[in-house]
Amino acid sequence: MSRVFKLKSSDNETFEVEEAAALLSETIKSSSSTEITVPNVKAEILGKVVEWCNKHAESEDTKDQLIKEWDAEFVSVDQHVLFKLITAADYLQIKELVDQLTQRVGDMIKAKTLKTVEMTYPTFNVEREVQEELKSLGF
Amino acid sequence: MSSCVVDLPEDIIVKILCRLPVKSLIRFTCVSKRWRSLIISDPKFGKSHFQFASQQRTLRRKVLLTSYPAVIEPGSTPNACYDGSWKKWAEDKFITLFQSLDDKFSVKNFTFPSEEIEDLEEMGSCNGLVLVGRPCRDHYKSLFIWNPSTGFFRKIPHPSFRMKSGRYFLNYGFGHVSASDDYKLVSVVPDPSDMLEVHIFSLSANIWKVITAPYSSFPCWVNRHGTFSNGAIHWVTPCGNKTLDPVIYAFILAEEEFRRVPLPPVLWQNEEDRNPTKITTLVHLGGYLCIWSRKCFDTQGGEVWAMTEYGVPESWVKLFQFNIHDFCNVFDVEQSPWDLCLITEGDTMVLRLNKELLWIECRNEEKPVCSGRYRLEKVQPKVSNLAFYFRATVYDETLVSVAEC
């Protein structure tokens, strides 16, 4: 009988997670208790992280095309949701989720700055353009 | 919105930046001092970025072109002797020009970060770091490590051991030791006794050392620039020397020892052949140790072999053979000197002509195809009729640098 973990969000909502899904998180793995509070992460975000863990726990082959498509959809979210997810996944130390999310941010930066990179500008314009773009991405 | 983004932990920002190409990151050095310092002057970040990009196979490669005016034979050209222009030539300095060539054949000039720029040559490149020096002249006086992508630059100090007179850089190489994450420059010199000396410079320790070895471990004084592959520098014995084994001599950088790597047996089958075989080791961008074998007295072309599993003699595979006359519609094969520079990952060979580079695809069964061509633009001829020194090699675009010690 596998254990059930309880994850509590910063706005006091609790999510029940099966052992297989929960142990994808290094933080949970090394915790002595089965009840973990995740500070600074609201229910909306924690729920999504739990969803990712559940999906990855039940799929046996992570190289499966279907799960890759599911993952791609999962990370195609609004910027600020993306950054909140990164914070949560980082706290919970779910390496693969962090990798996927940071890859997504990298791709977004590449997509946005590609056109500027191909053109030439005098230095001061470059600086401003790049700063503007990165600002719009939330940096 | 304000709490959402800006405070991402530093290690997450590093993770994101690791996934971006060098070209983008160089542009991002203007975002803030912290980013600039991370991207350009942080050896740890440079290493993480390089490892990630290697794994993901997103490293970009560029061709490094080195050129400077050089006289082939003084006095052989009508204008350059015993008149005002000769004297002028003798006083002029031959500044090296370094350029990069990308896969779209667009060229970018580099400003070399030092004023000592006469007669410099590229002497090896590894993980984006390029070794630059004067192998024909100085005794280790002008040696530099340079990352063309970031501008990272370090002058290699002069060694403290006593230098015997004689020619240096008879055989040299530059490579990476993965276990210690160190870069080493190696120079093998003969000693008047029956020994030889290996001068080794370690980049992370920033010191030189000398080890000695018996002459028999490395009887090979022809192919100057060794090829780095699988943790060792490789050179091949000179042609026609029947007393020597048909092997490649390798200097293992980590253990600092010589070893032998066997050549494809079939190259040595015909021992009565009066036309001995000449073999050179070559850079193969797929990471294989590669050789070019041709007959000494015959400039037809030859064969290119790759060792698909390092150290396993049975794994030598003939990639292709070629005959230079197949390219007579591409260039003047009778008049132009040519040389085989390197082999790309797709098994395309890059030929260097006097002022041009050619990309030639050789498929064993079909006619070879010239798939690309780059002609070097005219470079600062101080005196007319001067020929150019021109070499091409490849470097990776990385952020690799070495910490100060």
Among chain B residues, the shortest Cα distance to A138 is held by B5
The pLDDT assigned to B271 comes to 56
How large is the ipTM? 0.75
The C-alpha of B43 sits at a distance from chain A's nearest C-alpha, in angstroms, of 21
Residues A35 and B41: their CA atoms lie apart, in Å, by 43
The pLDDT assigned to B24 comes to 87
Percent of chain A's residues with pLDDT above 70? 78
H helix or E strand, kind and range, residue B200: strand B195-202
Reported as a single tens digit per residue, the pLDDT across B170-190 is 789 999 999 999 999 999 887
Question: For residue B227, how many other CB atoms are within 10 A of its CB?
Answer: 24
Residues of chain B with Cβ-Cβ distance to A102 below 8 Å are 12, 15-16, 19
Instruction: Tell me the C-alpha to C-alpha distance, in Å, between residue B348 and each of A78, B301, B360, B364, B370.
Output: 44, 15, 6, 12, 9
Amino acid at B249: Y
Q: What is the pTM of this model?
A: 0.82
- B27 CB-near residues (< 8 Å, 6+ apart): A113, A116, A117, A126, A130
Integer-rounded Cα Rg, in Å, for chain B is 23
- Select the highest-mean-pLDDT range: A50-59, B41-50, B157-166, B189-198: B41-50
Considering only the beta carbons, identify the residue of B5, B11, B27 that sits closest to A130. Answer: B27
Residues B118 and B113: their CA atoms lie apart, in Å, by 13
Chain B residues with CB under 8 Å of a chain A CB are: 1, 4-6, 8-9, 11-12, 15-17, 19-21, 23-24, 27-28, 30-31
What is the pLDDT confidence band of residue B52, given thresholds at 50, 70 and 90?
very high
Q: Does A87 touch chain B (CB under 8 A)?
A: yes
The C-alpha of A15 sits at a distance from chain B's nearest C-alpha, in angstroms, of 22
Inter-chain CB pairs, A–B, below 8 Å: 60
Q: Does A135 touch chain B (CB under 8 A)?
A: no
Strand residue runs (E) in B30-81: 61-70
- Tell me, what DSSP letter sits at residue B95? B
The C-alpha of B379 sits at a distance from chain A's nearest C-alpha, in angstroms, of 25
**In this model, does residue B380 exceed pLDDT 60?**
no
- B216 CB-near residues (< 8 Å, 6+ apart): none
Strand residue runs (E) in B203-300: 207-214, 227-229, 232-236, 247-252, 257-262, 277-284, 289-295
Mean pLDDT rounded to a whole number for chain B? 81
Reported as a single tens digit per residue, the pLDDT across B254-307 is 999 999 888 887 776 655 555 667 788 888 888 899 998 887 777 678 889 999
Strand arrangement of the beta sheet that strand A4-8 belongs to: A14-18, A4-8, A35-37
The pLDDT assigned to A27 comes to 92
Cβ contact (<8 Å) for B31 and A131?
yes
Instruction: Tell me the C-alpha to C-alpha distance, in Å, between residue B270 and each of B135, B152, B276.
Output: 36, 50, 10
Cβ contact (<8 Å) for B19 and A103?
yes
Residues B74 and B83: their CA atoms lie apart, in Å, by 12
